[in-house]
Structure 1
Amino acid sequence: MSRKARAAALAVGLIGTTMLAGCSEGVLSPQGPVATAEQQILFNSLGIMLAIVIPTIIATLGVAFWYRASNRRARYLPDFEYSGRLELLVWAIPAMTVLLVGGVAWVGSHELDPRKPIDSAIKPIRVQVVSLDWKWLFIYPDQGIASVNQLTVPVGTPVSFELTSSTVMNSFFVPQLGSQIYTMTGMVTRLHLQADRAGRYRGLSAQYSGDGFSDMRFAVDAVPAAAFAQWVQAARGTGPVLDVHTYADLAKPSEAVAPFTYRGVTPGLFNNILSLTAQPSDPSRLAYQASHGAQK
């Protein structure tokens, strides 16, 4: 093998290794039922399309080889105008491809409806998510705690998310668990995910939202049930209480915020955030809504 051939082989190997290494924390390394099903849809669609693309490439190379200038056996047909068989072939194969890929996407979109709960004998935990500038707030209403840029969930337990935004539209995405979904001011989107294996997974914002977008990331820690209970107990013993005033401070734009927790959360805070029509940095407005909601 020549020096140039060895260099080319080495370059191809390095590129392939780099590409595969990048898949270790992405959609091609699923760690939950939703992400696994999405990966299968991706592979099914890829297989259907390759079944058309590969023969087309081979046919193109074959035609170019056969009709080369030096091949005297190739027939030259300058008056050729129409062939019903060729027309049927040209249109039937792409139509079949569209039907097959569309069918896979249609079935998958219904099977993986973000609002559809995950079938499990284990009761799901509830997490309320608020996208802020430029950080993520996670409220655990049943545990009475909250965290910023840190999402801790028990392994093998479905997680029922309610998501909204305090400012501009954003996008919540944990590639290894699946289902990117948008967050919007004044609206709630719902999502169900589950982590099948313990580990730390990368969460991020998939929607550009301003200067601090690049640091709008969070860690998802999937831990055993006992470790999750210990984390909840530890969170209840440290940090401030998340009320209307601390939320107003949190809602102010900030970048590269280190993860921390709140030992308590004012009941109904997520609903007050959801219905807030003034600026989220206006604590008097939020306090007014919270007090009137409590009176009702």
Structure 2
Amino acid sequence: MKKHTSSYLWKVSALGITLLALLTGCDRRYLVFNPSGPVAQKEFDLIVLSAVLCAAVVIPVLILLFYIVYRYRDKPGNKAPYTPEWNDSKILEIVWWGIPVIIICILGVYTAKTTYSLVKPPVTDVKPITIQVTSLDWKWLFQYPDQKIATVNYAEIPAGVPVQFQLTSDSMMNSFWVPELGGQEYTMPGMAMRLWLQADKPGTYFGSGANFTGRGFAHMKFKVVAKPQAEFNQWAKQIKKSAPALTQERYDLLTKKGLAEKQSFSSYPESLFHNTIDRNGGKYMKPEMKHGGHDMSMMDHDK
């Protein structure tokens, strides 16, 4: 019996170590726990606060559980008083209801404060840039209104500069996510969502669609490359000079279901992003809602 128990415990331990190794990898980092910008840092701090507050409840409860099981176990010579009429304790009721209420209030205040702070640029002493993002089946289109260029399945941004991502979809709903720079935001047909992100230093950051969208969902990955402002400007100029134009015909091909390689374009049809919103908005809105369904003026990054 003892040999069987030891073998079972050894197998469970080995399985736990194997799962931990698979989850962590040799040099792999948890991307959410590696904040590389002010937005991601605020969200990381909120995760830490939530974990600490949860631990403040869970750890004492587990300690009390083991203590009560041990202290009040039935044993020979037990002389504990028999009190069948006992049914409550006001002090205990206040403790186990009051502490969670206080914790929820603290977490709620900090969550609301952090959430509202993320609707503004992370820093105010640097001029932000805007990137318009359209999710397709199964690829990502990035448009740069200021530089008049576009890319597919990759984006480059200047390090240390706030970036306002304006998000929509020309197919089914998806979710735009760059874990090391901040939380995710949905892309929805007929709507324009906004997400502020910023990379503190040059680097390459993993991005992905985080909403299941069918067969090619697993391939909806992209890279966000942050580089110094001068290098970013040089990259934009190079794209402008050497890449082909994104015509309406090319865009129509991109909207078809299928995978795509990284691409760059020196120009794109005027108001392509806004027209995509209007066209898809007409599909899902009632006739009386088609006008005024979204306020594009609110999407101006300098307002």
Relative to the length of structure 2, the TM-score reads: 0.83
Cα 1:76–1:62, aligned 2, differ >3 Å: closer, same or farther?
farther
In 1, Cα distance between equivalents of 2:18 and 2:51 = 24
Partner of 1:54: 59
Q: Residue type matched to 2:85 in 1?
A: D
Which residue does 2:32 correspond to in 1?
27
Measure the CA separation in 1 of the matches of 2:160 and 2:121.
14
Aligned twin of 2:245 = 241
Choose which of 262, 270, 273 in structure 1 pairs with 2:265. Answer: 262
| Counterpart pick for 1:78 among 55, 62, 84 | 84
Q: Match for 2:186 among 182, 187, 190? A: 182
1:3-34 CA-to-partner distances (Å, cap 9, x unmatched) read 97888766655544544449725210111100
Separation in structure 1 between the aligned mates of residue 268 and residue 181 of structure 2, nearest angstrom: 27
In the alignment, which residue of structure 2 is the partner of 1:287?
Answer: none
1:154 equivalent in structure 2 = 158
2:98 equivalent to 1:95 = no
**Aligned residue identity for 1:24:** R
What is the aligned partner in structure 1 of residue 277 from structure 2?
Answer: 274
Change (3 A) 1:86 1:140: same
**Are 1:107 and 2:107 an aligned pair?**
no
Quick check: 2:24–2:30 contact (8 Å CA) kept in 1? no
AA matched with 1:131: S
- Worse-matched range after superposition: 167-176 or 87-96: 87-96
Equivalent residue letter for 1:207: N
CA RMSD of aligned residues (A): 2.4
Change in Cα spacing, 1:14 to 1:144, as seen in structure 2 (3 Å) is same
Q: In the TM superposition, what whole-angstrom CA distance separates every residue of 1:12-67 from its partner, at most 9, and x where no partner exists?
A: 55544544449725210111100010000010011111101100000011000011
Whole-Å separation in 1 of the counterparts to 2:239 and 2:73: 74
Asked if the contact 1:66/1:74 (under 8 Å) is kept, the reply is no
Does the CA-based 8 Å contact 1:25-1:175 persist in structure 2? no
Q: Which residue identity is paired with 2:271?
A: G
Q: Unpaired segments of 5 or more residues in structure 2?
A: 1-5, 284-303
Match of 1:118 in 2: 122
8 Å contact from structure 1 (residues 238, 261) kept in 2? no
| Aligned residue identity for 1:182 | Y
> Please, which of 41, 44, 61 is the counterpart of residue 39 of structure 1?
44
Count the aligned residue pairs: 275
Alignment partner of 2:146 out of 142, 146, 164: 142
Equivalent residue in structure 2 for 1:131, among 126, 135, 139? 135
- Extract unaligned runs of 5+ from structure 1: 280-296
1:90–1:164 Cα change, 3 Å? same
| Deviation, structure 1 residue 122 | 1.8
Q: Distance in 2 between matches of 1:185 and 1:12?
A: 43
1:90, CA displacement in angstroms? 2.4
Q: For residues 97 and 127 of structure 1, do their structure 2 counterparts lie closer, same or farther at Cα, with a shift above 3 Å needed? A: same
CA contact (8 A) 1:25 1:201 kept: no
Identity across matched positions, percent = 37
Q: Please, which moves more after superposition, 242-251 or 49-58?
A: 242-251
2-structure distance, mates of 1:61, 1:143: 63
CA distance in 2, matches of 1:170, 1:15: 30
Contact 2:118–2:196 (8 Å) recurs in 1:
no
Trace 1:185-204 onto structure 2 (pairs within 5 A): 185-204=189-208
Q: Secondary structure at the match of 1:187?
A: coil
